[in-house]
Amino acid sequence: MSVHLEKRILVTGGAGFLGSHLCERLLGGRTSVLCADNFFTGSRRNIQPLLQHPGFELVRHDVTFPLYVEVDQIYNLACPASPIHYQRDPVQTTKTSVHGAINMLGLAKRTKARILQASTSEVYGDPLFHPQKEEHWGNVNPIGARSCYDEGKRCAETLFFDYWRQHRMEIKVARIFNTYGPRMHPNDGRVVSNFIVQALLGRDITIFGDGSQTRSFCYVDDLIDGLIRLMDSSAEVTGPLNIGSPEEIAIGELATAIRDLARSKSRIIIRPLPEDDPRRRRPDISAAQRLLGWAPSTDLRTGLSRTIAYFEQLLVEQGSAALLEESSARA
């Protein structure tokens, strides 16, 4: 006997780190998931277990082009999110954020779907206020090497709220802070994956800057829970809402913690800080707590242990050379 699926949900960037976890979580109950990805940074490996699920469908698609499907909800996660990836083709990165938002908003308008934009803490730039509240307009360099991502995401937020004002659409905007967990690219330039890979391979753990700069790291399961709660909240809750961990840690302390958890003897070395790299980053999540009843529940040590275990298994399966090259793998 066939089962009627009540919702069809589109996840753009669904084969990526966050997207694959979101697709997996959504495939419960009476929900079908359409995963759209151009595999610029996404990987078929991330969604391989989902391909046999009767409610899962994969389409290879670039969001800079329109997509004509029938859906009830849209999670717009498509965009390279690490500096190594988004600076590889900065013009395409901006197009993905801006044209992608226009195309997905157009689809949502036609289908009357509720749509969520995965924005970023990078809209705050090098913040003038700490911790960062949603009311902060940001301190962003519009012409720097990171601007393709920062300003692309800021423009996407503008488009979402213009569509909301002009067309009365149901929108949600989540400002995602640093997130980590299984399925991260081993060589994507992000601090957690970098440190773990270097520690497991016994290589020097490289810190950019003096290690005093801080970040707040949210485990992926908690982040996905926040996105779903935001999507399913009342229509009046548009955001933007900070979704991330308020637990702040210095990068030098993070490197030491990962080295210890990985039982590594790697040295910790210092390199110059990249251009426009923010000194401090921690979300004020009081709005998400009040409006969604959400706060992360996975402590950093537990989350890091799970992530290290994932990379250890990847190392066993693919070897050290493949581990370092995994980020360039394609479907």
Task: Give the per-residue SS3 of 43-83.
Answer: CHHHHHHHCCCCCEEEEECCCCCCCCCCCCEEEECCCCCCH
Predicted confidence pLDDT, tens digits, the chain (331 residues): 445 568 999 999 999 999 999 999 999 878 999 999 999 989 999 999 999 999 999 999 999 999 999 999 999 999 988 778 888 889 999 999 999 999 999 999 999 999 999 999 999 998 888 899 999 999 999 999 999 999 999 999 999 999 999 999 999 999 999 999 999 988 787 899 999 999 999 999 999 888 888 899 999 999 999 999 999 999 999 999 999 999 999 999 999 999 999 999 999 998 887 665 667 789 999 999 999 999 999 999 999 999 999 999 988 887 665 565 554 443 3
The bridge status of strand 218-219 relative to strand 268-271 is unpaired
**Phi and psi for 221 in degrees, rounded to 5?**
-60, -40
Does domain 7-250+255-328 fall under CATH 3.40.50.720? My reply is yes
Residue 234 contacts residue 290 (beta carbons within 8 Å): no
Q: What predicted TM-score, i.e. pTM, was given to this entire model?
A: 0.91
Catalytic residue ranges = 149
- Euclidean distance between the first and the last CA atom of the chain, given in angstroms as a whole number: 34
Segments making up each domain of the chain, as ranges: 7-250+255-328
Q: Using CA atoms in the order 210, 215, 221, 222, what is the torsion angle rounded to 10 degrees?
A: 160
Question: Of all helices (H) and strands (E), which one includes residue 92?
Answer: helix 90-111
User: Distance (Å, rounded) from C-alpha 6 to C-alpha 103?
Assistant: 24
Q: For 184-236, write each residue's pLDDT tens digit.
A: 988 787 899 999 999 999 999 999 888 888 899 999 999 999 999 999 999 99
Helices (H) and strands (E) in the chain, counts: 10, 13
**Angle, helix 17-26 to helix 220-231, in steps of 10 degrees:** 60
Going by C-alpha positions, the residue among 204, 203, 315, 199 that lies closest to residue 264 is 199
pLDDT of residue 280: 77
Return the DSSP state at 123. Answer: G
Return the DSSP state at 183. Answer: T
Q: What is the largest CA-CA distance in the chain?
A: 62
